[in-house]
């Protein structure tokens, strides 16, 4: 069941969303050659806790293998859910940083892909197309449209540029839980799926591969990688449908 939010509840989500946006603004300038992904994670967790909020990803998942960190940090062929570690970022790579914040019982989910040092034009294009596809998807989130209108807008833009959208993972509803209904795939047929309604809150998150859409999960049980080893980018905003139109809560 999709849980619609009142204006007051969306206010609560705006607070979580603002913190998530601040985390990426804080961490972004530190995404440089030589920094370890663990250092970025520590910075994010300290900031979130200083806001009297909780890192939503830490401890998430199955009890025998909870996610161990506050950020998902996914480098190059890693699509999403990469675990921060002692490894240092290398020049010429791209890194997706995904953060979940819970404050006052409300969740927000937000991701951005950053360039580490100087990257190739192909990687630059992959990042731009992914970010633009997110914007195009968000623009479809209006009352009267259907959830797969969002999906379709993302898919068309990505495939026009010769890239592919990941099929195994989707955007999602968000609010009292990190993952709620509906599911928001990054591919689909326009005019299908549930009707978008006032008070709906969604995490829209294109995951775009330079090569094929197929992915694998590594032995750590978390890190999703492209099957062909080619790079992948990921951008995500939490939005609310207010007065019939999308408002980005994570900015
Ligand atoms: Mg998400």
Residue-wise pLDDT for 122-176, tens only, equals 999 999 999 999 999 999 999 999 999 999 999 999 999 999 999 999 999 999 9
Cα(99) to ligand 1 centroid in Å equals 9
Bridging pattern class, strands 54-55 and 94-103: antiparallel
Residue-wise pLDDT for 1-51, tens only, equals 899 999 999 999 999 999 999 999 999 999 999 999 999 999 999 999 999
Give the per-residue pLDDT at 225. 98
* Cα distances (angstroms) measured from residue 182 to each of 28, 49, 173, 220, 251: 30, 29, 5, 28, 22
- Structure-token pair, residue 164: 């592919």
Give the per-residue pLDDT at 43. 98
Cα(228) to ligand 1 centroid in Å equals 23
Give the per-residue pLDDT at 71. 98
Handedness of CA 158, 117, 74, 96 (dihedral sign): negative
Cα(205) to ligand 1 centroid in Å equals 6
Cα–Cα dist 79/98, whole Å = 11
**28, containing H or E segment:** none
Cα(103) to ligand 1 centroid in Å equals 16
Cα(190) to ligand 1 centroid in Å equals 22
Cα(33) to ligand 1 centroid in Å equals 26
Give the per-residue pLDDT at 100. 98
Give the per-residue pLDDT at 110. 98
Structural domains of the chain in order of their starting residue, each with its CATH number: 7-248 (3.90.230.10)
Cα(176) to ligand 1 centroid in Å equals 14
Cα(183) to ligand 1 centroid in Å equals 10
Cα(194) to ligand 1 centroid in Å equals 19
- Label residue 29 exposed, middle or buried (CB < 10 Å: 0-12, 13-18, 19+): exposed
Cα(100) to ligand 1 centroid in Å equals 8
Cα(206) to ligand 1 centroid in Å equals 10
């Amino acid at each position: 069941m999709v849980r619609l939010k009142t204006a007051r509840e969306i206010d609560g989500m705006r607070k979580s969303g603002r913190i998530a946006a601040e985390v990426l603004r804080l961490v972004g300038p530190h995404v440089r050659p030589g920094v370890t992904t663990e250092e970025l994670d520590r910075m994010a967790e300290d900031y979130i806790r200083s806001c009297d909020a909780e890192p939503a990803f830490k401890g998430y998942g199955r009890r025998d293998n909870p996610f161990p960190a506050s950020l998902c940090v996914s480098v190059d062929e890693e699509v999403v859910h990469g675990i921060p570690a002692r490894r240092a970022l290398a020049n010429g790579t791209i890194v997706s940083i995904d953060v979940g914040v819970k404050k006052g019982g409300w969740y927000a989910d937000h991701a951005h892909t950053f360039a580490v040092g100087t990257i190739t034009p192909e990687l630059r294009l992959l990042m731009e197309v992914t970010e633009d596809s997110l914007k195009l998807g968000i623009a479809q989130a209006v009352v009267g449209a259907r959830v797969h209108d969002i999906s379709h807008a993302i898919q068309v833009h990505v495939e026009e540029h010769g890239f592919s959208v990941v099929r195994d993972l989707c955007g999602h509803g968000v609010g009292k839980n990190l993952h709620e209904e509906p599911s928001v795939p990054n591919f689909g047929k326009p005019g299908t799926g549930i009707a978008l309604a006032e008070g709906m809150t969604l995490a829209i998150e294109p995951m775009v591969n330079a090569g094929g859409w197929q992915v694998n999960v590594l032995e750590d049980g978390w890190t999703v990688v492209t099957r062909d080893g080619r790079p992948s980018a990921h951008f995500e905003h939490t939005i609310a449908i207010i007065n019939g139109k999308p408002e980005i809560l994570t900015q």
